[in-house]
Amino acid sequence: VRTVLWAHCFDEVRTGAMRVPAYVDVVRAHLATETSSTLVAAVIDRTLGPVRSRTASPDEVGDVTTGVAGACLAGLALSPDPEVAVALTRGVVATTRDADLLERWLATGRTDGGVDLDPSLRWSALARLATLGAVDAERIEAARVADGSYAGDLGAARALAARPTSAAKAEAWAAMTEPDVSNRLFESLAAGLWDAARPELCAPYVDAYLTQGPDIARRRGQGFSLVLGRNAFPALALSADQRSRLADVLAGDVPTVLARQWNDALDDLG
């Protein structure tokens, strides 16, 4: 029943029947006490994904993010079962503005409530610190070397791209448009590039993404086109001009797989 109710809320906010602030109130009221780890993860993913990046206005993005952060911290304070605690921890790591909290967790290798930070959580925490402007390239590189795995390479690429500077965003886009960039590296760079809290910093790359996307899709083929259109679509609130630009590009010659993903995104944007 709770799954059906959450799905109803998602649908209501997507269609505009429920305003984003009202939806955030639902998250604040009910996420902390949810007992299903699968449902917790789904609510967080959909709130930080479609709700924040496709439905929320730029003025509402911050409230969505802080609403999730607060609800997840409140849930962790209730000492939930281990699987729910991990899901809530991922939510905190993705949204908190408390750099000291993340640094403490990274230093001890576990949260205050005893959730161990696996490599994925550690890299997510570093990416969030990078987004907050709290870590530099040297520290990210040191973490990459210490990790020594391909997953670490991807985590470092995401964290470097997440730094809130024009230079970092330019470097990320340059790496994304390298002729032989892998699907997974492209997706990791995109995850760091888009910053819902700083749409103005990302604006040049929204335009570049829409302008260069069709040519990249033609050159790289269907599999890469799927990643380009679905996993790397700008994860931020698009302006009316950017939505109009997307519609204009779709009216031209766009490869089929990419066009399908972009049409779906345009439909979700309303």
Helices (H) and strands (E) in the chain, counts: 15, 0
Per-residue pLDDT at 184: 98
Q: Which DSSP string do the residues of 22-71 spell out, in sequence order?
A: HHHHHHHHHSTT---HHHHHHHHHHIIIIIIIIIS-HHHHHHHHHHHHHH
Per-residue pLDDT at 268: 83
Q: How far apart are CA 12 and CA 26, in angstroms?
A: 12
Angle at 48 between CA 69 and CA 246, to 5 degrees: 150
Q: What is the pLDDT of residues 81-128, one digit of tens each?
A: 999 999 999 999 999 999 999 999 999 999 999 999 999 999 999 999
The answer on pLDDT for 270 being more than 80 is no
Phi and psi for 213 in degrees, rounded to 5? -55, -50
What global pTM score does this model have? 0.95
Q: What is the pLDDT of residues 215-260, one digit of tens each?
A: 999 999 999 999 999 999 999 999 999 999 999 999 999 999 999 9
Please write down the HEC assignment for all residues of 204-242.
Answer: HHHHHHHHHHHHHHHHHCHHHHHHHHHHCCCCCCCCHHH
How many residues are given for the chain?
270
Q: In the numeric block, which tokens belong to residue 155?
A: 């985590």
Per-residue pLDDT at 4: 97
Q: Domain segments of the chain: what residues?
A: 1-97, 118-193, 196-270
Q: What is the pLDDT of residues 50-71, one digit of tens each?
A: 999 889 988 999 999 999 999 9
Q: How far apart are CA 61 and CA 238, in angstroms?
A: 12
Q: In the numeric block, which tokens belong to residue 26?
A: 């639902």
The residue with tokens 């009316």 is 240
Give the CB-side neighbour count of residue 180, counting CA atoms within 13 A. Answer: 0
CB 156 within 8 A of CB 140: yes
One-letter amino acid identity for 236?
Answer: L
CB 80 within 8 A of CB 72: no
Q: What is the pLDDT of residues 23-51, one digit of tens each?
A: 999 999 999 999 999 999 999 999 999 99
> Measured in Å, how far apart are the chain's first and last C-alpha atoms?
28
Q: What is the pLDDT of residues 150-202, one digit of tens each?
A: 999 999 999 999 999 999 999 999 999 999 999 999 999 999 999 999 999 99
